[in-house]
Amino acid sequence: MATLLPGVAGADGEFAPPTPVGEVEQFGAKIQRTMTLLATSTPQQRNRVRVLFYGQSVTRNPWWETVAEHLRQSFPHADLEIENRAIGGYGGPVLINTAEYDLYPYYPDLLIFHVWGGVESGHQEQIIRRTRERTTAEVLLWTSNLRWPKDVPPDGDPQHPAVQSVDGQDQAIADLYHRLGEEPGCEVADVRAAMQRYLAEHGLVVKDTIRDTVHPNELGNFLLAELVKPHLRYDPSFPTDPWRDLVTDVPVDDGRVTRGEDGSLTLTFEGNRIDVIAAHTDEDDLGTARVLIDGRPPFEFEELYYHERPSPTPVAGRPAFNRIEHEAPLVLETWTARILECDPTEGVDILRYEVIGSVTGPDGVGDHKERFVSNSGRVVIPAKQWMVNWSLRYRNETLPEDYEVTWRVLPLFTDVYQAPVTEDPTREYATMLAQGLSNAEHTVTLVPNGDGEVPVAAFRVYRPPLD
């Protein structure tokens, strides 16, 4: 109801800011590792920080860009990498599949997350717990923005069954997120409660914040951003115990790092990821070193490979399929799925395909209604995970003649470490050596190949908080 919106305008013509709900002095307490990295970045020491937004279409609305820009402006010296991998329409029961290639391999420092669906089934909680088991990411959950059923007038009865149904679903998400705020210790921005209070204070209704039944309009995006941003604060008085041991740097001159007669460096560590941080040097003709994990080259570890997100459907932009598994060890290669037969007509729903690996070669034919295991076992696509026919029905289109799906098997390891040229002394030059190991004790060894200097400042150990 646009006629009401001037009532929330401030003196400068902008929307009146909302008042956050909760103990403001505690905001940010559960994401202080990330905030410390950001706040302690200086022109002389730019800390690397990786932020991931994940969820559904509301997470892709403009508010996230406002939050991202807020981080960049508030912490201009941080070496920030911010991505949004949210997928429209994907509830918790679907997102738990795509998280396997979108979320855990990305290994963010901070995950900003919200999704509808999957509360009663436990899928939402599983995503968050797996994030805390497989990564050292801190998690900021935001409770749902307000929704309104399409068949109920904007000034309709709040007790209408359709309104109560939506409200009940959103309250269940809020209850879950507040519980996850206690254990496993996520930061929670109570967007829902603050928006409800804002409407009451300004005489507005839910429809004044959304452009359809769920997606925020200009006011809704403003409120969402303004209610998330206050949690992105640094406070050095907060205890460091919750995050101090998540990620630790071990300098090479630390007693824990041993040097071999061949110039090798060895560290015993506990965690599921290990990086090496280059020492700054003026040299540009630098050498390489072999990497060993537990005495073996990383490529021998089956768990250090993953299938990336496949290319999108012909229309609607979703991944061609939502989950890829494997039964045999993977190799680094590019995969192609070619459509052999397609009829998306509802009630018919035919989709047959063949898969071909750039190394493996032709590897079998599948039907999207059945679990597919390729001949080599390197590609497994569970039944009903394909989205191609859905996308064609959604847009009432036919399959393009040249359409095919491609994706890669990517490494979560480095077999040979190339010492980087450290052109910018203010930046950190870190290289991931292995990620996705069991969260247990391991050893890492760098063995110089004798082809040049390999300056190393430290190793960085990542130990997820949950086993």
Burial letters for 80-94: b for 16+ Cβ neighbours within 10 Å, e otherwise? bebeebbbeebbbeb
DSSP-assigned letter for residue 338? E
pLDDT value of residue 187 = 98
CATH fold of 247-301+413-462 reads Jelly Rolls (2.60.120)
- Quick: pLDDT tens for 53-64: 999 999 999 999
For 387, phi then psi, to 5°, come to: -115, 0
Residue 67 has a CB neighbour count (10 Å cut-off) of 23
Mean pLDDT of the residues in the chain: 96
Is residue 20 within 8 A of residue 190, CB to CB? The reply is yes
| Strand (E) or helix (H) holding 366 | strand 361-367
Q: Does the pLDDT at position 6 exceed 60?
A: no
Return the amino acid letter for 444: V
CA neighbor of 44 nearest in space, from 424, 422, 420: 424
**Contacts for 167 with CB less than 8 Å, ≥ 6 apart:** none
What is the share, in percent, of the chain residues with pLDDT greater than 90? Answer: 96
- Quick: pLDDT tens for 182-228: 999 999 999 999 999 999 999 999 999 999 999 999 999 999 999 99
Q: What is the pTM of this model?
A: 0.96
Angstrom distance (rounded) from CA 283 to CA 270: 33
CATH fold of 2-231 reads Rossmann fold (3.40.50)
Angstrom distance (rounded) from CA 4 to CA 77: 41
Mean pLDDT of 74-90: 98
**Contacts for 280 with CB less than 8 Å, ≥ 6 apart:** 422, 425, 429, 455, 457
Strand partners, 241: none
Q: Which two tokens stand for residue 438?
A: 């069991």
Domain ranges for the chain, please list them: 2-231, 247-301+413-462, 304-407
Cis, peptide link before residue 62, omega less than 30° from 0:
no
Instruction: Name the 3-class secondary structure at 183.
Output: coil
pLDDT value of residue 108 = 98
Angstrom distance (rounded) from CA 462 to CA 414: 16
pLDDT category at 11 given cuts 50, 70, 90 is very low
- Quick: pLDDT tens for 274-320: 999 999 999 989 999 999 999 999 999 999 999 999 999 998 789 99
pLDDT category at 467 given cuts 50, 70, 90 is confident
